[in-house]
Structure 1
């Protein structure tokens, strides 16, 4: 089995690096695997170097519309990725399956794995790493500084709020069964960064909740994401949710999935949008000194 993997990697290496290929000072054929990676490259103005993206690269919309698509980042084909002759692959750490990732790593092409993190420092670190990888370290430093400033401005606006909203993030709702976000998730991070409390934060990861368990959490607001092609589900049809403070006031907040959870250049704006919805009249929807 090991010999087979090595032989396959050798074949893929031949596909990825044709005979006589010259090394380049800066990569000219970049494959971006991960929505935030693609977003950073486009924000840097380096879209002409991007030769392919994955299906999570939903922003900007022209990325998927104009670039070859290597498929869903967790279901990659090593052959499909390497057949595009990249000289750099920027890959989110969540990419898979592992066998495909191992083959890509062994093929002789420059690969950089980008850690997935939910802190401001991890986000700005990813911006700096992606930028440096394409020779745009200075522009990346500027972008990271803008992101830091956005978070600092939001934190200042939230500082005087004592009565923090209690928020329940629902990833999915099927047949009355609610998949809710606990701690250690991107959803938990955005709730906290937006100045609210995750009512399910005492539990780690995503868990299925009964209607009774949801009612006991008593959220002030329900947060959900939207995705292209998926029909919005009304969470207030669940009796347990309808009886909560969020249900009584009809407070259901829906935001684009990549915008809210992508942890890319737009994240400070997304969290300000969320905070302004949670605390209208207290948190401004725009910050003039950041934009």
Structure 2
């Protein structure tokens, strides 16, 4: 059976997977937005954005397969198909969809076993994070904001990663909607009513501004705002041009460091307890686990979650 030897990747995901499988020599062109793995930007010509592509440049590369994502790239796919190029447009929207995508892409390049091994690594990482989250005494309510004007909440795979990491998405019914326009929030009333304890922002390439979020009308009494739990997840990490990354265990870990740090709100400002991550600034006792004294916060307030570390001090 012949496998494609000259692949153009219109998004980052196939690039990352093919490199992970050791099949990078098949790639002849990548998206200009691809940042993973870093070496790809040095080694491969950049032939597309997300909404546009250099069609003539792609044709000059003589690809035998072009890989893209979603209906947003339909016009690019149409132009290439009319030129006689084989195109595969994936449309995965969930963690299970990401898993299936990896196996399918591996099979398409004759690397089925390597794809299964790679997926086993990812699954093991997800299982570790899920097990850590199971030990949390409380799951924080999480609002994920994909865009600020208008407000757009997170897609299904984002909600799934938040849950794996130990939180609960406050808009699960919207997460089930695959299109961004279906997840637009008409106003802030429902966000405020659902009282998120943690806000994760990833504004698709635009810098997340916690100060602007905190200043929104009616948000001052929101638990996440009161406790300063307004956190950016860099778009290249979790929303590479609205397509799910193929490293969901790393994304879940990224969400997990946020969720696990904010699981035991008790209504007072403070710093982190080394036992349950929260220490009341006034009583020097943890409002959740009852342990007293700053002995529960190791050197300088540094709390470690596996390989992650962040520094906090009493407000």
Pairs within 5 Å for 1:61-80:
61-76=38-53, 78-80=55-57
Higher RCO, 1 vs 2 (CA within 8 Å, ≥6 residues apart): 1
Aligned to 2:79: 103
1:122–1:213 distance in 2 versus 1, CA, 3 Å: closer
DSSP-derived class of the 1:208 partner: coil
Distance in structure 2 (CA, Å) of the matches to 1:179 and 1:271: 23
Deviation at 1:270, TM superposition (A): 1.7
1:126–1:276 distance in 2 versus 1, CA, 3 Å: same
Q: Which residue of 225, 229, 235 maps to 1:251?
A: 229
Deviation at 1:162, TM superposition (A): 5.3
Q: Deviations over 1:215-246 (max 9, x none)?
A: 22211000012666x44322212133332000
Q: Which residue of 139, 148, 151 maps to 1:173?
A: 148
Distance in structure 1 (CA, Å) of the matches to 2:27 and 2:13: 14
| TM-score calculated relative to the size of structure 1 | 0.76
Counterpart check, 1:260 vs 2:238: yes
Q: Which residue of 114, 125, 128 maps to 2:90?
A: 114
Distance in structure 2 (CA, Å) of the matches to 1:44 and 1:169: 31
Distance in structure 2 (CA, Å) of the matches to 1:223 and 1:251: 8
Distance in structure 1 (CA, Å) of the matches to 2:217 and 2:41: 39
Aligned to 2:306: 286
Aligned to 1:10: none
Question: After the TM superposition, which of the residue ranges 134-143 and 184-193 deviates more from structure 2?
Answer: 184-193
Distance in structure 2 (CA, Å) of the matches to 1:282 and 1:126: 37
DSSP-derived class of the 1:188 partner: helix
Pairs within 5 Å for 1:173-252:
173-174=148-149, 179-181=151-153, 184-203=155-174, 204=177, 205-225=182-202, 230-234=206-210, 235-252=213-230
Distance in structure 2 (CA, Å) of the matches to 1:193 and 1:140: 22
Aligned to 1:9: none
| TM-score calculated relative to the size of structure 2 | 0.71
Distance in structure 1 (CA, Å) of the matches to 2:256 and 2:15: 26
Alignment: residue pair count: 257
Q: Which residue of 106, 112, 119 maps to 1:131?
A: 106
